[in-house]
């Protein structure tokens, strides 16, 4: 199982939000490229980038910072990017720049035709980000709840050909309150494609809890605030995940 560091970008800086609130951002670094290098040196095997301004604007807004990260990473590890990706031209440009996986969130829910087209045009490169609370999907930077059941929607997108699902429990994201293992497992069991857990990973215990159920179809876990605030040692977390995998 991969432990995947999140690099959330706002105004060119590396930040973390609490429960998606743009006005509650903590700046952790003003050099996203150096932050990417730091996580690679700590043993990261994939990076998770979010263009926060882009997510709210509906188009990428942190391209210089993203390019700085890609320049630093080169072809060492895959990089996945989400936030404001709403058309095929943007996907093509991001892939050309060196992004490996494109994460489509709100646009997948609001415009499933676009997601279908993206999966057809760029097979193997599209991941859907589903943010949910109490089993229902939220959109628009978590500001609006929909009536969509997260499992039903994920199954539909699986049929489109998406590469995987990033599942975020928005009640827990950035709150260091522990990952929602039960909801993540329930989703993974319903799908054939892998699920990446996101939201609430606070400690090595959360990593162990996910490792214990990884064979249900959970291929990774994204972590942000915990590793930036030193509550979770990234290298130790990935070592623990590798240890669990080898013992299963």
Of 2, 1, 3, 53, residue with least CA distance to 223? 3
Structure tokens at 136: 């229902």
Q: Is 169 in the active site?
A: no
Of 128, 205, 198, 204, residue with least CA distance to 170? 198
Contact in structure between 80 and 66 (CB atoms under 8 Å): no
* Strand ranges (E), 68-143: 79-82, 101-104, 126-133, 136-139
Contact in structure between 186 and 147 (CB atoms under 8 Å): no
Three-class DSSP category at 5: strand
Please give the Cα distance from 17 to 6 (Å, whole number).
11
List 87, 89, 96, 131, catalytic entry? 131
Q: Is 205 in the active site?
A: no
Structure tokens at 233: 């040692």
Q: Can you tell me which residue has the tokens 């999966």?
A: 119
List 8, 169, 173, 206, catalytic entry? 8
Please give the Cα distance from 3 to 94 (Å, whole number).
23
Structure tokens at 169: 């429990």
Task: Give the residue numbers annotated as catalytic, written as ranges.
Answer: 8, 131
């Amino acid at each position: 199982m991969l432990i995947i560091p999140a690099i959330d970008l706002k105004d060119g800086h590396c930040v973390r939000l609490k429960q998606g609130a743009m006005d509650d951002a903590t700046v952790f670094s003003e050099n996203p490229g150096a932050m990417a290098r730091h996580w690679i040196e700590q043993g990261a095997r994939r990076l998770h980038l979010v263009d926060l301004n882009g997510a709210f604007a509906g188009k990428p807004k942190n391209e210089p910072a993203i390019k700085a990260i890609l320049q630093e990473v080169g072809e060492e590890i895959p990089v996945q990017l989400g936030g404001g990706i709403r058309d095929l031209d943007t996907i093509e440009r991001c892939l050309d720049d060196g992004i490996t996986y494109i994460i489509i969130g709100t646009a997948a829910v609001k415009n499933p035709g676009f997601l279908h087209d993206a999966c057809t045009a760029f097979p193997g490169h599209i991941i859907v980000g589903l943010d949910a609370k109490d089993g229902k999907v939220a959109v628009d930077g978590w500001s609006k709840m929909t009536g969509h059941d997260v499992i039903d929607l994920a199954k539909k997108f699986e049929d489109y050909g998406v590469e995987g699902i990033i599942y975020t429990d928005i009640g827990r994201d950035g709150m260091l309150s522990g990952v929602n293992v039960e909801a993540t497992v329930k989703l993974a069991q319903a799908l054939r494609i892998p699920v990446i857990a996101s939201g609430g990973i606070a400690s090595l215990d959360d990593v162990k809890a996910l490792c214990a159920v990884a064979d249900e179809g959970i291929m990774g876990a994204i972590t942000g605030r915990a590793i930036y605030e030193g509550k979770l040692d990234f290298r130790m977390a990935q070592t623990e995940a590798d240890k669990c995998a080898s013992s299963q």
